[in-house]
Amino acid sequence: MTDTIPDLPVTRSCPFDPPDGAAEQRERGPVAQVRLPDDSTAWLVTGHAEARALLADPRVSSDRGRPGFPVPVAALARNRPTNMNATLIANDPPVHTRLRRMVIPSFTVRKIAALKPKIERIVTERLDAMIAAGPPADLLADFALPVPSTVICELLGVPYSDHEFFEEQSRRRLDADGDAILKLITYLHDLVAKKIENPGEGLLDDLIAEQLAEGRLDHDELATMGMVMLIAGHDTTANMISLGTMLLLSNPDQLAKVRADEAAVPAAVEELLRYLTIAGTLTRQATEDIELGDVTIKAGDGVLVASAIANREESDELDVEHPMRHHLAFGFGIHQCLGQNLARAELEIAFTQLFRRIPTLRLAVPVDEVPRRPMALLSGVTELPVTW
Ligand code: HEM
């Protein structure tokens, strides 16, 4: 029986599509078993309704320290850092609730709306520089990466002059031999120490003044939280800008609709998020028996939510005018992306300005020759050659 269980689908042959084997997995039902790299089995949730139900279920844990917590990619097991006790995504309530409450006020729709002029300025400056230097250009290095990197640095109060270091470590964080996460935590630890001595402006400084000083957060927790926001804040958005641009350039009819009416950009952003679902496999463990679909997930079983597959349940067509209402590109439930309002604002401003200012933008190489990142759980490119 066990040898009929397929491997967890993670490899994406096409950068725009869910992992290979998605269709076969869906045929096996909305919740079905898969085999993980360590030869254990877990449940893969591919149905949209089932995925939402599972992610909202209080009987699942996100605590990566639990025995038997599923490891979908082998490199993650080798590289599990020792001190991840303060990352939001690796914690359950009540610790998760305490940490999330400290940072959520900085990411509300209102707070992000107030940040938009700054994002506009950063996007304009990057485009000015890229246009002045090109064509051609590497859209990742010249635009898609520096924009969210600069924005998250300003928001957190991290010096952008250190961007090469943290971008490189962030890229290397899943390397088999890497100590990248440790280097990043040490960097944040030192930065927090400097800020305690010499306060500046930003979310880290606010957290020092309001939480650390009051004893509600310790130095390690703050460093780890800062690291997660720094990584999550630039890497995901950079991938969405690059892959989103690639996808639109590969679908001229859809791009024409975006260009025809800038008011259509927010809907297009939602559709790009759904279609690409770059963070497409979310990891949990059942803490109690859970009936889901037509199976019983036993307490202790690993559960992987295939959001990239679930988001294509309704349609495999890209349709920028009709985005799906409840897509899972930012997850769902208590761990739903902290930075989603920020990411949306960055994507809207980036695409609007990019296509307005460079109407003749096109890929400089065929789409299947764009170098891809090897990281299975987060799709993206390592370079995006464009010209105009
Ligand atoms: C387009 C860009 C982004 C995408 C696609 C994305 C995707 C996601 C997803 C799918 C999750 C849920 C993971 C899970 O439930 O297992 C998540 C959580 C998270 N994201 Fe994002 N994200 C993006 C941008 C950002 C930004 C800009 C930040 C900036 C701070 C950020 C910070 C976080 C944090 C801290 C969590 C963990 C939240 C928690 O556990 O409570 N993300 N993100």
356-366 pLDDT tens trace: 999 999 999 99
Residue type, 207: L
d(CA 281, CA 261): 33
Architecture of domain 2-374 in CATH?
Orthogonal Bundle (1.10)
pLDDT at 382: 92
Q: Which two three-digit tokens encode residue 62?
A: 């996100």
318 CB near ligand 1 (under 6 Å): no
- The answer to whether residue 2 scores a pLDDT higher than 50 is no
232 CB near ligand 1 (under 6 Å): yes
281 CB near ligand 1 (under 6 Å): no
89 CB near ligand 1 (under 6 Å): yes
Name the residue with higher pLDDT: 245 or 181: 245
211 CB near ligand 1 (under 6 Å): no
**For the chain, percent helix, then strand, then coil, each to nearest 5?**
55, 10, 35
84 CB near ligand 1 (under 6 Å): no
Which residue(s) pair with 289 in the sheet?
Answer: none
Percentage, residues of the chain above pLDDT 90: 78
d(CA 362, CA 296): 49
Percentage, residues of the chain above pLDDT 70: 94
How many A from CA of 89 to the centre of ligand 1? Answer: 8
- The answer to whether residue 14 scores a pLDDT higher than 60 is yes
Q: Could you give the angle at which helices 252-260 and 340-357 cross, rounded to 10 degrees? A: 90
185 CB near ligand 1 (under 6 Å): no
88-115 pLDDT, tens digit per residue, is 888 999 999 999 999 999 999 999 999 9
- The answer to whether residue 231 scores a pLDDT higher than 60 is yes
Ligand 1 atom having least distance to the Cα of 336:
12
Q: Which two three-digit tokens encode residue 231?
A: 């990584």
Of 299, 295, 279, 276, the residue nearest 287 (C-alpha): 299
Pocket test for ligand 1, best of 334, 338, 342 (most atoms within 8 A of CB): 338
Of 225, 204, 234, 244, the residue nearest 343 (C-alpha): 234
282 CB near ligand 1 (under 6 Å): yes
Q: What is the DSSP string of 275-340?
A: HH-SB--EEEEESS-EEETTEEEPTT-EEEE-HHHHTTSS-SS--TTS--TT--TT--GGGS-TTH
* Nearest CA residue ID for atom 34, ligand 1: 338
81-95 pLDDT, tens digit per residue, is 544 556 788 899 999
How many A from CA of 208 to the centre of ligand 1? Answer: 23
16-70 pLDDT, tens digit per residue, is 999 999 999 999 999 999 999 999 999 999 999 999 999 999 999 999 889 999 9
236-288 pLDDT, tens digit per residue, is 999 999 999 999 999 999 999 999 999 999 999 999 999 999 999 999 999 99
Cα 283 to Cα 76, 106, 138, 305, 377, distances in angstroms: 12, 26, 33, 6, 11
* Residue range 212-217: mean pLDDT, rounded: 87
pLDDT at 78: 54
- The answer to whether residue 158 scores a pLDDT higher than 90 is yes
How many A from CA of 5 to the centre of ligand 1? Answer: 30
How many A from CA of 229 to the centre of ligand 1? Answer: 9
Ligand 1 atom having least distance to the Cα of 90:
40
pLDDT at 1: 45
How many A from CA of 19 to the centre of ligand 1? Answer: 20
335 CB near ligand 1 (under 6 Å): yes
- The answer to whether residue 338 scores a pLDDT higher than 50 is yes
The order of strands in the sheet holding 362-363 is: 137-138, 385-387, 362-363
